[in-house]
Amino acid sequence: MVRDVSSAKPEAIEKLLDAARVLSTETVMFHTAIAAASGLSATESKAADFLARLGPLTPKELAEHSGLAPASVTALIDRLERKGVVSRKPHPADRRKVLVELDERKSAAAAPRWDYLVSSVAELCARYSAEQLRTITEFVTEAAAITHRATARLTGNESERQVRRTDV
């Protein structure tokens, strides 16, 4: 069968967008299940994930990383603090600021819930070459940055921060 080369790329893009949509839905459902098992909302769980990956952050930094509106982040931190997931600590360099810090015990208790997903994805990665994995990483990083900007546009928190490789 001879394929029209001019339609191959649009078809590939359409299939990729469909696959990304499925992955997005499955990811949201997984994170919702992880959050529920931890007694958190999905947003609370992802905020805790930012703190686990990036370390203590100011509320402003957490708003920038999450793309959420600052007022929403304040209420989010209040809920996480009441649930014992985070605490507010004085900022070591600026007395006017606070840092939001993750309770490491809560984080460690949730870690085994990720074991199956992490090991399965690592097995999947083993099927690809280092070059292919670099390409996939570049694509996922750029897609995450686009998603971050889209979230910020929807929430009105359009900061200049870009998603960095350390964020994904």
**Is the four-CA dihedral 154, 159, 165, 168 of positive or negative sign?**
negative
Tokens of 142: 């750029």
pLDDT at 167 over 70: no
Kindly report, residue by residue over 63-76, the tens digit of the pLDDT: 988 888 888 999 99
69 SS3 class = coil
Q: pLDDT higher for 166 or 131?
A: 131
Kindly report, residue by residue over 95-137, the tens digit of the pLDDT: 899 999 999 888 888 889 999 999 999 999 999 999 999 999 9
82 contact partners, CB below 8 Å, separation of at least 6: none
**CATH of span 10-167:** 1.10.10.10
Q: What percent of the chain has pLDDT over 90?
A: 72
Tell me the CB-side half-sphere exposure of residue 149, using CA atoms within 13 A: 10
Residue 62 near residue 73, CB atoms below 8 Å? yes
Each domain of the chain, given as residue ranges in start order, spans 10-167
Q: What angle do CA 8, 14, 16 make, to 5 degrees?
A: 100
The pLDDT, as a whole number, for residue 37 is 93
pLDDT at 58 over 90: yes
